[in-house]
Structure 1
């Protein structure tokens, strides 16, 4: 899951979060059960149609979030060209973009509080055995919330490096990126402590 925000309100925003997540799980299992390039092309076309249905603004926003996948496409393409298995590479690449695209579609149309509610409902049996699940719920929420934010900060660091140097950033931005992540983690920890902790 890449995104958390949608620039426009869609019909899917009113659908139950549990139903959307269940449909996502079934669709992902279907993608992994399918070994046909044509089938994966059709699935990818359906995913793109779902993005296009709410309009041009929603489609552009969704596609912009999927641009982070291009390095994986390059690695997959190079590997399968070297191993002379282009059909398998096409299936893996299409499966990747379709699965991530569908997951991003769910997060774009589902509030974080609704997702936490689904996690709380799924973890209910654990509470019967005396297991505290609040930490699990909070951890999942933080991962969903901060993954796109950290990705955005990484993009900003790379742009800042390119503005100051003709060389590619590469490993040079790893340290400042790690420091940004640690700083954000400390702020979140302080905020949690101020509210009574977990």
Structure 2
């Protein structure tokens, strides 16, 4: 899942979060079981249709969210061309893009609070055993919420580098990106402490 925002409201926004997550799990399992290139091609096309149904604005937003996958697609294509396994590579690429696309579609049409409510229900057995699940719930919420934020900051960092140097940024942006991530983590920790920490969240 790499996005949480939808520029338009769709019918899927009104569907129960648990149903959408269950459907996503089933679809992902089927994708990993399928080995036919035609099946994955059809699944990829179906995923694009789901993005297109709400309109052009939603479709473009979905494509923008999936752009972060292109480095992985390039690496997989190069690897499977070198190893002379283009068929397997095509299956893996289509499977990855389709699975991430479907997951992103769920997050774009589901409020974060609804996703956390589903997670909280799923870990109910752990609470009956006396285990605290607040940490897990908060961690999942933070990962879902701040992954697109970090991706946006990373893109801006790359753009800033290109504006100042003709060389490719490469590994040189790793340190400043790490500093940005740590700074965000520090602000989040301060916000949690200001609200009473995990003890206050459990009440």
| In 2, Cα distance between equivalents of 1:170 and 1:131 | 43
Deviations 1:48-88 (A, max 9, x none): 00000000000000011111111111111111111111110
TM-score, length basis structure 1: 0.99
Q: Which runs of 5+ in 1 are unaligned?
A: none
User: Residue 72 of structure 2: SS of its match in structure 1?
Assistant: helix
Q: CA deviation at 1:171?
A: 1.0
Task: Determine the structure 1 residue equivalent to 2:17.
Answer: 17
Q: CA deviation at 1:188?
A: 0.5
Q: Following superposition of structure 1 onto structure 2, how do residues 102-117 of structure 1 map, counting pairs within 5 Å?
A: 102-117=102-117
Deviations 1:18-61 (A, max 9, x none): 10000000000000010100000000011000000000000000
Task: Determine the structure 2 residue equivalent to 1:192.
Answer: 192
Moved over 4 A (4+): none
Q: CA deviation at 1:190?
A: 0.5
| In 2, Cα distance between equivalents of 1:178 and 1:9 | 34
| In 2, Cα distance between equivalents of 1:127 and 1:74 | 43
| In 2, Cα distance between equivalents of 1:5 and 1:74 | 26
TM-score, length basis structure 2: 0.96
Task: Determine the structure 1 residue equivalent to 2:49.
Answer: 49
Deviations 1:93-152 (A, max 9, x none): 100110000000000000000000001000111010100111110010001011110111
Q: Following superposition of structure 1 onto structure 2, how do residues 35-184 of structure 1 map, counting pairs within 5 Å?
A: 35-184=35-184
| In 2, Cα distance between equivalents of 1:119 and 1:61 | 26
Provide the alpha-carbon RMSD of the alignment: 0.6
User: Residue 35 of structure 1: SS of its match in structure 2?
Assistant: coil
